[in-house]
Amino acid sequence: MKGKTFLLHLFCILLLFFGASSSSERHGNNDGANAKQVYIVYMGAADSTNGSVRNDHAQILNSVLRRDGNALVRNYKHGFSGFAARLSKEEADSIAQKPGVVSVFPDPILQLHTTRSWDFLAHQTRVKVDTKPNTISGVSSSSDVIVGILDTGVWPEAESFSGEGLGPIPSRWKGKCVPSHDFNSSRCNRKLIGARSYAVSGVQDSPRDENGHGTHTASTAVGSFVKNASFYGLAAGNAKGGSPESRLAIYKVCYQGGCSGSAIMAAFDDAIADGVDVLSLSLGGNFGGDIKDLLNDSIAIGAFHAVERGILVVCSAGNSGPDSYTVVNDAPWIFTVAASTIDRDFESDLVLGDNKTIKGRAINFSPLSSSPKYPIISGELAKSKKSTLADARVCTSGSLDGKKVKGKIVVCDGSEDDIPPKDKGSRIKKLGGIGLVMVTDVYGSEAPIYADIPVTVIYPRYRKSIYNYITSTSKPVATILSTRTVLGYKPAPTVPDFSSRGPSSLSSNILKPDIAAPGVNIFAAWSKNGIENVPKGRQPSPYNIISGTSMSCPHVSGLAASVKTHNPTWSPSAIKSAIMTSAIQNDNLKSPIRNDSGVLATPYDYGAGEITTSEPLNPGLVYETNTVDYLNFLCYGGLNMSTIKIISRSVPHNFSCPKDSSFDLISNINYPSIAVNLTGKRNVSVIRTATNVGELAETVYSPTVHAPSNVIVTVTPDKLHFTKSSKKLSYKVIFSALKSLENDLFGSITWTNDKHTVRIPFVLTK
């Protein structure tokens, strides 16, 4: 990518660590308590009359402000009520006390969920690559399902957004294709049916994607079928999204500096009115907080109102793994997606002068010969006089002697967390080196892209072989081979280290993340202006290969759209349940899924497991989580009824928070997974209700329990007998610990009939 684009990506990631101060700096001078900055004023469910909503907003603003025509930034009036305005801290505090105001909070800056800051693989998304040159099979030529993408915009000229073969735009669509200086409304078609943008102050407004992230995620979710796609010959095949028959609506909320919370809420507000069916967000804020903090969470607020209106909201889990309690977007009404690998690898081998070949991983288009004839040296042996051995071993800046490096392949043992791998390759090249071997496991299964710089990444277990050879001869030689695509790689899937982990800091009584999907080395469409690392003499690729939970999220969004196409009347929670209960927990070696490090993965890593693509279309049973479940969740988390009635438009007349509300009761909301706190308790029971959506009205399901050895799990009744008049049946699960738990434990309950297998995972916390 171009230099300024990389700096933009780096700046976005830095903002993740300096979010609070960055937000203030971005929205105005923050010197002094009365300095103005943008605040979001959230007022719960929207009134049915837009005019009255605007009047309410104006009255509140006028009550604390003198006449200021520039104060109001945005109104929210479709899916929920509120506004964004430039206020002082004193004015914001005053508005927070007004009747009908749920919360007032500074406009946050959220981040796109790509890989770590040192990894240049900028953004996120995924497209399936079919190595068979067939046309789309097994799907209808047209669908009325509409997927909305909140991201960096779209590159409308990409082949993935062709509307060829699709029927007329659904008549219920109320959205717009908003023109701008570089985006004509004619760019929209029967695939790309809507495009809006929400520019912040000082940024030119346009839905066009200048860096590629939004294009990548959109094409991963619903990209049209494209023949003979590749990234300069790698990952070659036919590209398509998860639901190529679905329609696409773009909401550009991310610009230079990040993704504004006020813009995100405006996009949610418009998307609800426009008529989308699925919303996909490959972005998020910081992890941590409790249930009351949801009232200051732009995504959680927008998602709550979207789900209330029947829209499924899918979000990435974040890239702060492998530490625990790092998952974000973990409200129960959000479908939270972790990342996993696929069975395709990008191999760039190191060949030593003794003809020993060591497998490496990277994407490069090395001009070196396949014969090992180039001198090779370790960083330690190339140490400059002023450097330490430790710095030279890692090849830090200034640690190597250019005279020793010139004309050689350099082996650097380890990596610098703050230096992108591309930059280290460039550093070696500037010193006169002709190639780089990085011995490290920090990239795991990711394949960094280096373009023309011959670079490969080698696992530390091969360190000894490399160093033994270098020191065994006076003139060691080697070569780095150009990357080749390896299909059928095993084991896959695995969970990469970067994928954020549970438990949820919001509530350990809800298992998060919910599901895992491909998010490593994902191939999808890209923006023409956003590509980096263009091989010498080549044109910018219309595709890119990148990693992150940003890539895994649109895989689930596309799958959800496909499920919706086949089951148009299903609720968001039914679709979510179908995907979760049909997930797998084994890799292509038929062994349990593991992490990058080789350790067995748990539901804290992958939720219910890895998505499957056909089983969710007809899952047999679903667990529907309704609005009352979510209202109870808010009650159990400590919100009072007066606040809840303002937030929700669907509070039943006879609903009230239970008098004995507690966090542990959260385990009883009808979620397609179970999380129970067994601390100091012998027995804990929960209830789940399953709905028969199978083709047989009369059917019997029986349970199979997989439980840890020191826990007894009892399911009653021991059969679920569904009939035409009994489509919903409940069962109780009793967890009995034989001794105090030393660690969190995991298991599952699987209901089966003659055709369907419906699995629900559980976690028992100590």
* Active site members: 151, 213, 550
Helix, coil or strand: residue 733: strand
Determine the Cα–Cα distance for residues 41 and 19; give it in Å rounded to an integer: 19
CA angle 27, 28, 31 (to 5 degrees): 135
Determine the Cα–Cα distance for residues 623 and 760; give it in Å rounded to an integer: 10
Determine the Cα–Cα distance for residues 627 and 644; give it in Å rounded to an integer: 12
β-pair partners for 250 = 149, 195
Tell me the backbone φ, ψ of residue 108, rounded to 5 degrees.
-80, 160
Which residues fall within 8 angstroms of residue 192, CB to CB, at 6 or more apart?
Answer: 154, 156, 161, 163, 177, 247, 248, 250
3-state secondary structure 267-321: HHHHHHHHCCCEEEECEECCCCCCHHHHHHCHHHHHHHHHHHCCCEEEEECCCCC
Q: Distances from the Cα of 292 to the Cαs of 19, 82, 633, 640, in angstroms?
A: 20, 18, 11, 10
Structure tokens belonging to residue 590: 């038929």
Tell me the pairing of strands 374-378 and 515-518.
unpaired
For 229-268, the DSSP string reads EEETTEEEEEEE-S-TTSEEEEEE-EETTEEEHHHHHHHH
Tell me the pairing of strands 234-240 and 82-87.
unpaired
CA torsion through residues 92, 97, 100, 103, sign: positive
Determine the Cα–Cα distance for residues 276 and 312; give it in Å rounded to an integer: 9
Tell me the backbone φ, ψ of residue 283, rounded to 5 degrees.
-160, 170
Determine the Cα–Cα distance for residues 123 and 113; give it in Å rounded to an integer: 7
Amino acid in position 161: F
C-alpha R_g of the chain: 27
Give the CA dihedral 49, 51, 57, 59, nearest 10 degrees: -120
Determine the Cα–Cα distance for residues 690 and 701; give it in Å rounded to an integer: 11
**HSE, side-chain direction, 13 A CA sphere, residue 324:** 8
Residue 644: which H helix or E strand, with range?
helix 641-647
Tell me the pairing of strands 226-231 and 234-240.
antiparallel
H-assigned helices in 496-616:
549-566, 572-581, 603-606
Determine the Cα–Cα distance for residues 64 and 91; give it in Å rounded to an integer: 6
463, 439 Cβ separation under 8 angstroms: yes
Structure tokens belonging to residue 411: 């082996």
Determine the Cα–Cα distance for residues 390 and 393; give it in Å rounded to an integer: 5
Determine the Cα–Cα distance for residues 344 and 455; give it in Å rounded to an integer: 19
Determine the Cα–Cα distance for residues 441 and 672; give it in Å rounded to an integer: 35
Determine the Cα–Cα distance for residues 183 and 539; give it in Å rounded to an integer: 23
Give the CA dihedral 27, 155, 16, 596, nearest 10 degrees: 170
Determine the Cα–Cα distance for residues 167 and 189; give it in Å rounded to an integer: 11
Q: Distances from the Cα of 331 to the Cαs of 304, 308, 514, 609, 710, in angstroms?
A: 9, 14, 11, 19, 31
634, 644 Cβ separation under 8 angstroms: yes
Helix, coil or strand: residue 474: coil
